[in-house]
Amino acid sequence: MSIFHSEDLHVEDQNLTILFSGAPGTGKTTLGYSAEKSLLLNLDRGAHRVKPEHRDGKDTSVCSTFDEVKADVEYAKGKYKTIVIDTGGALVEMLKQYVIDHPQDFKGGAKAMGGISLQGYGFVKTLWNDFTRDLRQHFNVVYIFHEQAEKNGDDGTFYSIVVEGAAKNVVWQSADLAARLFISNGQRYLGFTPTDQYSAKSSFGISGLIQVPELKPGQPNDFLTKLFAKVRENLAKESSDLAPQKKQYEEAITMAKVICADVNAPEDVAEAAKAIKALNHALTSEKESTAMLKSRLAELGIIWDKTAKAYVYK
Amino acid sequence: MSTSKVRITQSLLSAWEWSFKIEDGWDDFLSTLNREKKQPTKAMLDGIRFENCLNGVLKGETIPEDHEWYIVITQMAKELDGSQQQVNLFQDCEVDGQPFLLHGVLDYLREGHIWDCKFSKTYHLNKYLASPQHPMYLALVPEARDFTYVISDGKYVYREKYLRDIVPPIEPTIKNFMDFCKKHGLWETYVEKWRVAN
């Protein structure tokens, strides 16, 4: 049974996906290790730079091909709660090679002279979508990306994730939350609200700048564990705060449907409009109910006659 | 200064904001300001065809599995199921003593969420970040919680979601537009063409 009524769906139990990018030395991999029960896929081979105490108790997988990545992810199912992809850019490179190495599965994916074709990039996007969909079903997912500075207008700089251009939009869609990790005045921050300097994605009550504290000796590396816990707390609160409004909304919409269905002639319209106005509205039910009535009138060919100041057939 | 109430739309504000950014932007803005009928471009016609196809599916029509947009239309229709389509809304607003009537047609509205469908072959990340559309539409529906651009290039579906608490209000943009029109001698034209009949 996979169909739930909204009140039965515990959104706070769902797996979460976060994407963040940052310049070298901002502590991206260390932050990746802070996720709960994580397996870090060390695709960029940079995990050795993390202080041992900050990856204490966390496992690392070193993969060279997409086949190895798939095998490790399969192994991780049921054993880990979070998969950390370090980096997403390196994974895209592996997917490109995978397409090139499997010409029988991805016809036209490689150029005759070597390298990936335009069609091949299409296969990469599809592979990314399929792989990340599967990941998300079993784990929380953390995508780490390097960043690059691009010129933005005459005097600005825009920081974007390092990934082959064609895959960027698809990669971004995989994340619930996305942020830029940066250092300002000696403090590390994750910026979750998009600005004219970087892309970001805020949701579940997480937005703006969140400080990432410097880890002191002996301090547990658990920033993302706590952030995910906060997201779940926000989801649970939002869900319970909204529950009465949603119930009221559903009742109003149900009633509006009945009222609209009862409109069959111009003389029914005024009464229906009055009844819709009188409903106990919540969220956007009033505007939706009014739109519903207008749509019913269009169906019946009923219009408002300004001269007669009455509803009439067209 | 005129105190006649004037209608304002996100399309007019967009045309103004793009007037300095693209070639022909200024002519396009003047044409929009003068409410001239425009010949739709191929991109616009493609967008209309895509939206009609999506709306058809939302109304219960079937889309053949071999249709060029089958995958994306099915995906989008699932997300937008149960929403009201083409919701025409007006909202009064006053900026610096000037009464405005905000006007917009929401593509989809359901349970406190607004969606706008875009068909774009040139989509890139945060394409709509600076658009006046989401601030305008969130002003039109004060009870809405968020606004999502749901975009397709025909092969993939992309989303840009803007939560109310991170979206700036529309009034400063309208104020800048008003100041610009006055400074460049366009205010009278605007009022003449966009005045709201009593």
- 3-state secondary structure (DSSP) of residue B98: strand
How confident is the model over A253-277, as a mean pLDDT? 97
CA distance B106 to chain A (A): 11
With cut-offs at 50, 70 and 90, classify the pLDDT of residue A5: very low
pLDDT above 90: residue A44: no
Residue B160's DSSP bridge partners are: B149
> Average pLDDT of B65-80?
96
User: Any idea which of A134-138, A215-219, A224-228, B152-156 has the lowest mean pLDDT?
Assistant: A215-219
Closest residue, chain B, to A122 (C-alpha): B155
Least confident of A8-22, A293-307, B91-105: A8-22
Cβ contacts of A292 on chain B, cutoff 8 Å: 84
Q: How far is B158 from chain A (nearest CA, A)?
A: 6
Beta strands in A134-235, from DSSP E residues, in sequence order: 140-152, 156-161, 177-184, 187-191, 209-212
Interhelix angle A66-76/A88-101, nearest 10 degrees? 120
Q: What's the rounded mean pLDDT across residues A181-202? A: 92
Pairwise pLDDT comparison (A48 vs B114), residue with the higher score: B114
Nearest CB partner across the interface for B124, out of A169, A173, A201: A169
Residues of A in contact with B87 (CB under 8 A): 287-288, 291
Alpha carbon distance A58, A179 (integer Å): 23
- How do residues B2-16 score in pLDDT, each as one tens digit? 579 999 999 999 999
Ranking A58-62, A185-189, A243-247, B45-49 by mean pLDDT, the lowest is: A58-62
Residue found by looking up tokens 């400063």 in the block: B172
Residue A304 — very low, low, confident or very high, per pLDDT cuts 50/70/90? Answer: very high
- Beta strands per DSSP E along chain B: 6-9, 84-95, 98-110, 113-119, 146-152, 157-163
| Tokens at A75, concatenated | 């192994």
Q: Find out whether A311 and A305 touch, Cβ atoms under 8 Å.
A: yes
> What is the full DSSP assignment across A217-286?
TT----HHHHHHHHHHHHHHHHHHHHHHHHHHHHHHHHHHHHHHHT--SHHHHHHHHHHHHHS---TTHH
Rounded to whole angstroms, the Cα distance separating B194 from B44 reads: 24
Residue-wise pLDDT tens digits, A81-101:
999 999 999 999 999 999 999
Decide which of A182 and B23 is more confident.
Answer: A182
Q: Which residues contact B182 (CB under 8 A, 6 or more apart)?
A: none
CA distance A255 to A277: 11
Residue A262 Cα, gap to closest chain B Cα (Å): 19
* Residue-level pLDDT at A51: 73
Q: Does B167 touch chain A (CB under 8 A)?
A: no
Per-residue confidence at B1, pLDDT binned at 50, 70, 90?
A: low
- pLDDT above 70 as % of chain B: 98
Return the H-helix or E-strand segment holding B21.
Answer: none
Mean pLDDT of A276-300: 97
SS3 state of residue B123: coil
Would the CA dihedral through A154, A160, A162, A166 be positive or negative?
negative
> Which of A132, A234, A284, A294 is the best substitution to test chain B (most B C-beta atoms within 10 A)?
A284
Q: Can you tell me the distance from the alpha carbon of B67 to that of B26, in angstroms, rounded to the nearest whole number?
A: 38
Helix A88-101 to helix A118-138 angle (10° resolution) is 120
> In the numeric block, which tokens belong to residue B139?
């002003």
Residue A231: Cβ within 10 Å count: 21
pLDDT value of position B24: 82
Tally A–B CB contacts below 8 A: 69
* For residue A6, pLDDT beyond 50: no
Apex A292 CA angle, A305 and A269, nearest 5: 40
Contact A288 B109 (CB under 8 A): yes
Q: Are A288 and B84 a contacting pair at CB < 8 A?
A: yes
CA angle A23/A93/A132 to nearest 5° reads 90
pTM over 0.90: no
